Amino acid sequence: MKKLIIFLLIGTLSSMFVNSQDDTTASNDFSKWQVRLRGLVITPSESATIETIGGDVNISNAFIPELDFTYFFTENIAAELILGTSNHDVKAVNTAAGNIELGDVWLLPPTLTLQYHFTGGALKPYLGAGVNLTLFYGADEGPVADKVDYDSSFGFAFQGGLDYSLSDQWFLNVDIKKILIQTDVTVNATTALGATVGADVDINPLVIGFGIGYRF
């Protein structure tokens, strides 16, 4: 399935690139860089398969600042890199041992997408797709577990957004991303539960951003 998605993504972007080459003027008279500062609302769509004790997982929402950079290869084709980090409370729920507080963990999810920007007028929509690497750090195990380990995640990301020009340089932005994040979690709870429990956790957050950008 992943190979099929990658094949379709490459084919679609290649087609967009060829079409944009036809539309781009020889002068290349456009801003090649954009930087944006956004506020993000991160809403996980979590689910889990928990060994031994069963149940599910609950992961809190987060609101964070985020910085991103976009480079335009042509007027239509661009690549965006987002930089931000978020903290989330984690709880195992409806398990055989009841609800278990698992503290909190920080996520560092650099995400790179290729985008197609529609041109014309002050309102410029775009669509994008790419890849995400999520690193977990600073885990606090909470009152029950002795230690909680999270494996890094590599997955796909999909986005859509709008830029609204205030001037030639400044613009407002709204952006929506769906990021596919999956991690294997190991909970060492031998002191409280007499067991070490593994879990396959899908986080898959919806990320909604609002902010301001500058072209140069």
Question: Distance (Å, rounded) from C-alpha 208 to C-alpha 62?
Answer: 11
Read off the pLDDT of each residue in 32-45 and give the average, rounded to a whole number. Answer: 97
Position 158, amino acid: F
Give the pLDDT score at 135. 97
Give the pLDDT score at 189. 87
Question: Distance (Å, rounded) from C-alpha 9 to C-alpha 116?
Answer: 12
Position 124, amino acid: K
Q: How confident is the model at residue 12 (pLDDT cuts 50, 70, 90)?
A: very low
Domain boundaries, the chain: 31-215
| Percent of all residues in the chain with a pLDDT value above 70, rounded to a whole number | 87
Judged against a pLDDT cut of 50, whether residue 20 lies above it is answered with: no
Q: Which of 5-19, 66-80, 116-130, 175-189 shows the lowest mean pLDDT across its residues?
A: 5-19
Give the pLDDT score at 5. 46
Q: What is the per-residue pLDDT across 55-100, written as a single tens digit (0 to 9) for each?
A: 999 999 999 999 999 999 999 999 999 999 999 999 999 998 889 9
CATH topology of domain 31-215: Porin (2.40.160)
Distances (CA, A) of 139 to 60, 63, 187: 14, 18, 11
Which residues have C-beta within 8 Å of that of residue 183, sequence separation ≥ 6?
Answer: 134, 136, 150, 151, 152, 153, 201, 203
Question: Distance (Å, rounded) from C-alpha 52 to C-alpha 86?
Answer: 30
Q: What is the per-residue pLDDT across 142-186, written as a single tens digit (0 to 9) for each?
A: 998 999 999 999 999 999 999 999 999 999 999 999 999 999 999
